[in-house]
Amino acid sequence: MAIFNYKLIINHEFLKQFCPRCFALRSKAAGAKFRGGYSSGFTLTELLIVVIIIGIVSTLALPMLVKTIEKAKLGEAVSNLNLIRTGEKIYFLEYGFFSGKDGADKQAGIVKLNIEDPNSANANFTYTIETEKGETGDFTARAQRKDTAPNPYSTYYYEISKDGTISSNPAGNPLKP
């Protein structure tokens, strides 16, 4: 087992050159400001500038992040609208008419389809069928963004028809399916 002489290690000239206090004492360039003091770290001004730059960059990036998240949620709507369209086609082949809504209950038609109900608790949209029950010409299914969406996305809705055309409302909707 080797015995170390700690005095030798502390007084070693090679290690002394890395000590900030010793460097400040023997450095003429350091001036009187750092003599006898610790000379490393950031000033408050430098930290404030970094915080301000990070704030400006995040302010510019936040709207793009929200738009990207909404586009991803739009993918859910398009997928579920196509699922409802397929369910309506199968229902039409079996019964000769589309399921449609029962009076004021617009979600009743979706329950009749042989598909998984897209109106689950964690869905970002409310799915309804806008066409009356018994219609044979065409149907319209709608995906309305829930109230949890940030403005202006909560006012947008998407519709699909029998031929698979997906339209968005209002007309100035920046998110196109």
In a domain, 153, yes or no: yes
Listing DSSP states for 145-176 in one string gives: EPTTSPTTGGG-EEEEETT--EEEESTT-S--
Domain count, the chain: 1
In a domain, 30, yes or no: no
**Domain interval for residue 73:** 44-169
pLDDT at 176 over 70: no
How far apart, in Å, do the first and last CA atoms of the chain sit?
74
Beta bridge partners of 144: 126, 157
In a domain, 28, yes or no: no
Q: Which tens digit of pLDDT belongs to each residue from 119-134?
A: 887 888 889 888 888 8
In a domain, 9, yes or no: no
Tokens 């993918």, located at residue: 75
By CB atoms closer than 10 A (0-12, 13-18, 19+), residue 140 is middle
**Displacement of CA 96 from its chain's centroid (Å):** 42
In a domain, 18, yes or no: no
Of the listed ranges 1-15, 59-73, 141-155, 161-175, the one predicted with least confidence: 1-15
User: Kind and range of the H or E element at 84?
Assistant: helix 44-95
For the question of whether the overall pTM of this predicted structure is more than 0.75, the answer is: no
In a domain, 60, yes or no: yes
In a domain, 39, yes or no: no
In a domain, 50, yes or no: yes
Q: Which tens digit of pLDDT belongs to each residue from 19-78?
A: 656 655 555 554 555 555 555 788 899 999 999 999 999 999 988 888 888 888 888 889
